[in-house]
Amino acid sequence: MTTYLVRRLIQMLGVVLLSAIASYLLLNFAPGGPLSGIRQLQQQNNRMRLTAEDFARIRAYFELDLDLPVRFTRWLVGQPRGPLVIAGQSFLGDMVVGCRQPIEENFETGPGEFETRVVGCAQAVQLKDLEGRRVSNGVLFGDFGLSWTILRDRPVADLLLTRLPKTLQLMGLSTVLALIIAIPLGVYSAVHQYSRFDYTITTLAFLGSAMPTFFFGISFILLFSILPKSAGLPYLPPGSSEAVRAYTLPWFGTIQPDTWLDVLLHLILPVTVVTIVSVAGFSRFVRASMLEVLRQDYVRTARAKGLLERVVIARHALRNALIPFITVFVFALPGIFGGAIITESIFSWPGMGRLFLLALQSSDYPVAMAMLFITALLTVVATLLSDLMYTMVDPRIRLS
Amino acid sequence: MAATAQVASLAADVISTPEESLWRVVLRRFSRHRLAMISCAAIVVIFVLSLFARQIAPFKPDQLAVGHYFLPPGAVEEKTGLTHYVGTDNIGRDYFSRLVYAGRISLTVAVVTTAISILIGVTVGAFAGYYGGWLDSVLMRAVEFLATIPILPLLLIISAMLLRNEEAIPIPKFMLEVMGTVMLLSPNDARQALLIILVLAALGWINDARLMRGTILSLREQTFVEAARSLGASDAQIILKHMLPNAMAPIIVNASLNLSGFIVTEAALSFLGFGIQDPIPTWGNMLAATQQFMFDRPWLPLVPGLPIVLCSLAFNYIGDGLRDALDPRLKL
């Protein structure tokens, strides 16, 4: 068991490292990047004149003056921060790790088409220049660096932490609700296979998983907030997680912002949408797995022993049917962190999903990378968790 | 000797019984699935509408009627006497015309993406299943990876990357022109649609490959493959002639489900602002652009939402019907 765990942990570290590298490369090789906006602005209007020195400073701010491997290790583990110091003596201080001012020249690639290429370096960055430069402690140690655009120069972690509670609220609540609803539904329709109830549930689950989330969202806003409001009935707030100012609902009276009632009212619509979508998936899964188990010999044995049908289903069938469900559920965990991107953006819910969108829209790469990295980490942890849980609930499975 | 005689008589039986062709059987079984037939009809209607977009739409999709913002459904333009069937949007473009043109674009994106992912998926899956080796292990790792990572963020990142510098991605000009003609777009606008197709296909083929691999793996052990091999058939012959026809059922069913999935995903990407961008109409970005007006004019976001839902459901039902018709034991 211990060796298994150690091996798994080493594997996990490898996977996390790989995903960190992959996400970093994806975002850094992506053309565009933080400087493209400035370049475009400069080309478009000549009023904004940046000197070469300004440009170099901006490049240094984004660490774009460093070579990719150096930049990456600084991002990942916060090193190198300066010359190598061994026993009071510094080494490799002159090593070139980047270029402060590249020499660019325009080449004609075709008739009328030009391409700017870097042909040399006017001023190199050496390892000793890195001393005293601002650097994060490294993503591996939980420091995601500073945000570039959304909250400029504030730690990414702060940004994530302000959004996390809202997402946990939304996703946690809907996941719990989905479980409470989906398991009985799935069990009931499996036990009464081909009954009218089963057909209804199967059809609804089918609709729920085939319908796009944004359509659910929009029709719910229409049904529960616009129509009732115009009819003078109490309506649900269509967006955001709490009101900005006090508002009046028929029957409820005036509701102050940030009271529990206000929060509750704002939660209902997004939670319902996320819940419906999860219930659709979960209940289909529970039904299939329950049908599988009900056909087993031990269920027949339990029935033959004369046990009550209720006991057979709850004790003998359900407990076994839920084993494969563990995987499905555990893999939903990274989603709880990552939030529901579409639902959050329909209901303008200030959670992680919308933060991710915002980060991509405004090229705030540190934020986007942090979120990708955490999701990857959670996924890996979830995999381990589900494997361990399997051994706990199913003694037939041995880890080796 | 007795065995041979028995086989001969069995063969004679088979030959003498009038046999329905396989496709006729499939068709008969499929037509029994009522919802699938209704879905087929709905899809045909939507396809025909999009195919004749130019003839059906009264206006150009990007034609602005200055001053005629937010016209109600059924408003008639005085000058030309043309009707805005569903009114106009916030900058005075005819909503119905945009809807019809958008259908052409959204459907083309879905169909082409499905075709590409089947092509890649079947090839990779067949090779991986038949030969195993590194391709197989890479494929299986990719499948595992995708099974765990949430897909939408990944798609969003890829398409954000691609769309940010559209111009730098080399796409042959004739392809842009062909796609432009199909989608009634200028070659430059077609570039965007093509990029979205690439984004969707980049992850879309993997499921096809997984299915194909599984089927090929099980077919490899079948006696008819062994027979073919013992008769000296080459690998290519075995894969193409003997295995592929037997492996198509899950792929066909999956294609139908994929069509639904790609329509919804493309709409979701466009809805979130990382798909095809505004002057080009798609159902997703029309929905996104008009969501803010839904408080006064709820039909604006609902109208483009309906075809998305309709297509998604219809393709799902067709997939269901195809599964029943092709192979009822099939589980996807």
CB atoms within 10 A of CB A94: 10
Contact (CB<8Å) A341/B298: no
pTM over 0.90: no
Alpha-carbon separation of residue B225 from A7, B115, B216 (angstroms): 41, 27, 10
Residue A275 CA, distance from chain mean position: 18
Residue A252: which pLDDT band, with cuts at 50, 70 and 90?
confident
Tokens of B50: 């999009």
Please tell me the distance in Å from B25's CA to the nearest CA on chain A: 26
pLDDT at B330: 57
How big is the A-B interface in CB pairs under 8 Å? 99
Given a cut of 70, is residue A68 above it in pLDDT? yes
DSSP secondary structure string for all residues of B31-89: HH-HHHHHHHHHHHHHHHHHHTHHHH-SS-TT-B-TT-TTPPTTEE-TTT--EETT-B-
Which residues have a Cβ under 8 Å from the Cβ of B161 and sit 6 or more positions away?
A: A26, A27, A30, A31, A32
The answer, for B256 touching chain A at a CB cutoff of 8 Å, is no
pLDDT of residue A31: 59
B268 touches A at CB < 8 Å: yes
**pLDDT value of position A399:** 61
Start-to-end CA distance of chain A, whole Å, equals 7
Read off the pLDDT of residues A356-371 as tens digits, 9 standing for 90 and up: 888 888 878 788 888 8
Query: Which residues in chain B are contacts of A346 at CB distance < 8 A?
Result: 291
What's the confidence (pLDDT) of residue A391?
79
CB proximity B149 to A under 8 Å: yes
Rounded mean pLDDT of A384-394? 80
Which of A109-118, A177-186, A221-230 has the lowest average pLDDT?
A: A109-118
Across chain A, mean pLDDT equals 82
pLDDT band at residue B175, thresholds of 50, 70 and 90?
confident
- Yes or no, beta carbons of B313 and A210 under 8 Å apart: yes
Q: What is the share, in percent, of chain B residues with pLDDT greater than 90? A: 16
Report which of B306, B193, B196, B326 is spatially closest to residue B256, judged by C-alpha positions.
Answer: B326
| Nearest by CB: B302 against A32, A218, A375 | A218
- Whether A31 sits inside 8 A of B274 (CB atoms) is no
The answer on pLDDT for A400 being more than 60 is: no
pLDDT reading at A150 higher than 90: no
- The pLDDT assigned to A8 comes to 81
Q: Which residue of B has its CA nearest to A214?
A: B268
pLDDT value, residue B63? 79
Tens digits of residue pLDDT in A176-197: 999 999 999 999 999 888 889 8
pLDDT value at B80 more than 80: no
Query: At residue B302, what are phi and psi to the nearest 5 degrees?
Result: -70, -40
What pLDDT was estimated at residue B42? 93
Q: B132-153 pLDDT, tens per residue?
A: 888 888 887 777 777 666 788 8
Residues in A closer than 8 angstroms to B298, CB to CB, are: 222, 226
Helices (H) and strands (E) in chain B, counts: 14, 2
Q: Among B156, B168, B305, select the one facing A215 at the smallest CB separation.
A: B305
The highest-confidence range among A360-364, A391-395, B253-257, by mean pLDDT, is: B253-257
Instruction: Select the more confidently predicted residue: A371 or B113.
Output: B113
Burial class (CB within 10 angstroms; exposed 0-12, middle 13-18, buried 19+) of A326: middle
Q: Element (H or E) spanning A38, and its range? A: helix A34-44
Averaged pLDDT for residues A37-50: 67
As beta bridge partners, residue A121 has A102
**pLDDT range class, residue B110, cuts 50, 70, 90:** very high
| Residue B204 vs residue A115, higher pLDDT | B204
Judge whether residue B62 has pLDDT over 90.
no
pLDDT in tens, B87-99: 888 888 888 889 9
Q: What is the DSSP string of A158-204?
A: HHHHHHHHHHHHHHHHHHHHHHHHHHHHHHHHHHTTTSHHHHHHHHH
Q: Rounded CA gap, A387 and A7, in Å?
A: 13
pLDDT in tens, B189-200: 888 888 889 889
Q: Is the model's pLDDT at A37 over the cut of 80?
A: no
Kindly state the average pLDDT of the residues A374-394. Answer: 82
Q: What percent of chain A has pLDDT over 70?
A: 92
